[in-house]
Homo-oligomer: A and B are copies of this chain.
Amino acid sequence: LSNTENGLMFQKTMGNFKGHALPGSFFLLFGLWWSVKYPLKYACRKNKNACYLGSRAGFQRLEFVEGIIKAVFALIGMVAEQFVPDGPHLKLYNYEEKHWDHLMNWQHATMYLFYGISGLVDIVAHGTNALPVAMDRMMLSLAVFIEGFLFCYHLHGRAMLDVHVHQLLLFAVFGAAVCIFLEVFFRGSIVLEMLRTSLCILQGSWFWQIGFVLYPPNGSPEWNQTDHTNMMFLTMCYCWHYAFAFLILAVNYTIVTLAVLLCTKEVPCLFGSQSKRHQH
């Protein structure tokens, strides 16, 4: 009975469609942005006398801006989790009824907190030269790891399918954490950057899928939470999401590579200020 009540409480506070679509959109946004940024960086590195963004300073500035956006998003997330109508409003313990208050919201706020720290470290590491730049990857890796860590202890007392779709998410989360940690040592490796990007897109699109499976909008019928074939289908579906992430990556990679080729050969650069005409 306690589990059922827990489930009901959960359904009310966060476990609705929007609660999964929002973080999913953030991850998709970052994933899509990275699927443009890293191919661009790679293409510019190969064509040295290319456009403005290809310069080391340009990309450093980008990382700085990314850090600000990450920190702002994290702050908004934390504030939202606290001050939504049925949120905890910074109250952690209900002394009257002697139980913890809105633990789910506090947990989500904690996840955002570490992304916020990661954003701050990005800002300091790329804005000043006081901090070694590799710290940004280390903090991002930790933020992703802690997201997964909290998810792990999040799943007690839920239905089989619910647990399964969240467990699948953990593969993307811990995979990304390991990949980003490797980037501390192999910084600038395009392969690791692409892997991270693909896992980020996967995480984003899978958040949306979880929303559709557990809280079907528009009154679609609910999924049978105990049917074993549903689990098998979703496992496979997860792989299709990943294939889809690679498709997006491939399309963006192609577009960016062609654009850089065009810009360095014939036409003035679309992305920056140092057009070739000035050189002649």
Interface residues of A (CB under 8 A from B): 2, 6, 42, 99-100, 103, 106-107, 110, 113-114, 117, 130-132, 134-135, 138, 146, 149-150, 153-154, 156-157, 171, 184-186, 189-191, 194-195, 228-233, 235-236, 239-240, 242-243, 246, 253, 257
Contact = CB atoms under 8 A, between A and B. Distances in A.
Given A132-B42, A138-B191, A117 B246 contact: yes
The residue among A6, A113, A190, A236 with the most chain B CB atoms within 10 A of its own CB is A236
A51 B266 CA distance: 41
A34 to B, nearest CB: 16
Contacts of A42: 132
Contacts of A228: 2, 6, 156-157
B240 A103 contact: no
Given A117-B246, A246-B117, A103 B233 contact: yes
11 contacts: A100-B230, A100-B233, A114-B239, A114-B243, A117-B243, A117-B246, A134-B190, A134-B191, A149-B171, A153-B235, A156-B228
Contacts of A253: 131
A130 B47 CA distance: 11
Contact of A236 (B107, B138, B190): B107
Contacts of A232: 100, 103, 107, 153-154
A190 B132 contact: yes
A150 B229 contact: no
- 8 closest A-B pairs by CB: A153-B235, A134-B191, A100-B229, A138-B191, A110-B239, A132-B190, A103-B232, A100-B233
A20 to B, nearest CB: 19
A232 B233 CA distance: 31
Contacts of A236: 103, 106-107, 110, 150
A42 B204 CA distance: 37
Given A103-B232, A113-B243, A131-B253, 9 more contacts: A99-B229, A103-B236, A110-B236, A113-B239, A114-B239, A135-B191, A138-B195, A149-B235, A154-B232
